[in-house]
Structure 1
Amino acid sequence: MAEDLIIDKSVSKAAQYKSLIPQIEALLFGESDFVANMANVSAALKEQFSWFWVGFYLVKEDELVLGPFQGPVACTRIKKGRGVCGSSWEKATTLIVPNVDEFPGHIACASASKSEIVIPLILDNVVIGVLDVDSEFLDHFNETDELYLKQIMAILLKH
């Protein structure tokens, strides 16, 4: 198991992801506990990219319930279809929101959050949770983030 990540923030976003992905694979290697792995993925992403908030919500009955995360305190429960996370769950699709204030029904867990990307965790064609990433900057996320975060979620789901 890796103890420290090799972080290089001087390279492009894609290069940062390409460096981080094998480190995440090594971090998760041999560990089967899903909660522990979500916690380490959250920490690795937060450490690499210094995002405002990185974490998971897990489907429990008819709600998303807060899981492992890095950042300030967060909303604990989100209904299906509510906010960015609930909408991503309902639609089973990634949502990139350049300005959260313009997203209908956005749930403001923290007023400092300005943009967001949410990736659904899909196992056997069922959404079991979402990865939620918030930034304090507008228009912070794009298709590069979507591409590599989906790869990281695939790694997480196979462990």
Structure 2
Amino acid sequence: MLKTLEPQVAQILENTDLEVDIRLKKVCDLLKKSVPYYNWVGFYFKNGDKQELKLGPYAGEPTDHTIIPFGKGICGQVAVSNENFVVPDVAAQDNYIACSLTVKSEIVIPLFLNGENIGQIDIDSNTPDPFTEEDERFLEFVNQKVAQIL
């Protein structure tokens, strides 16, 4: 199912008539709308030279977590590890920052530009343990396409 979204993601991101943030927001909206267990979809980006992430475009409930220090929470850990992080059960994570009581699981995939981790795509799900390797590969594809327009 996720594979079928790839052409739509590419089409959105390649639309140079729209600003980058608008394209990213449209991708978030598409993923949230199309994948039943993607309940919150957003991008975080490195905040200048600071050791923190800043919230970018997203789709879902508003979040208080607009700035996340490196190392804090799942997103902050990915900023340091440069590796995908799939959390089947957020309640079992010591270093988890709760965005919403309804969130049961999370997946975070780093976004690389010229080999540097400049951000990530973050997805929260209200479904326990829904993420598979297919989600990881699909979100890596999304990030590769995003990197091409940054």
Confirm or deny a common fold (TM above 0.5): yes
Shift of 1:73: 1.2
- Provide, for residues 96-136 of structure 1, a one-character-per-residue CA deviation record: whole Å limited to 9, x for no partner: 00001111210001111100000011111211111000100
8 A contact 1:37–1:156 mirrored in 2: no
Q: Percent identity?
A: 35
Alignment CA distance shift 1:124-1:105 (3 Å): same
Matched, 1:41 2:27: yes
Shift of 1:33: 3.5
- How many corresponding residue pairs? 144
Match of 1:65 in 2: 54
Picking from 113, 119, 125, the partner of 2:115 is: 125
Matches within 5 A, 1:1-159: 16-31=1-16, 33-50=19-36, 51-60=38-47, 61-74=50-63, 75-159=65-149
Shift of 1:30: 3.4
- Please, which runs of 5 or more residues in structure 1 have no aligned partner? 1-15
Shift of 1:64: 0.7
The SS at the match of 2:124 is strand
Root-mean-square deviation (CA, aligned residues, Å) is 1.3
The SS at the match of 1:105 is coil
8 A contact 2:2–2:134 mirrored in 1: no
Q: TM-score under structure 1 normalisation? A: 0.86
Alignment CA distance shift 1:30-1:72 (3 Å): closer
Letter matched to residue 30 of structure 2: A
Shift of 1:22: 0.5
- Provide, for residues 66-109 of structure 1, a one-character-per-residue CA deviation record: whole Å limited to 9, x for no partner: 11101111111111011100011110011000001111210001
8 A contact 2:13–2:24 mirrored in 1: no
Shift of 1:37: 2.2
Letter matched to residue 62 of structure 2: V
Letter matched to residue 55 of structure 1: G
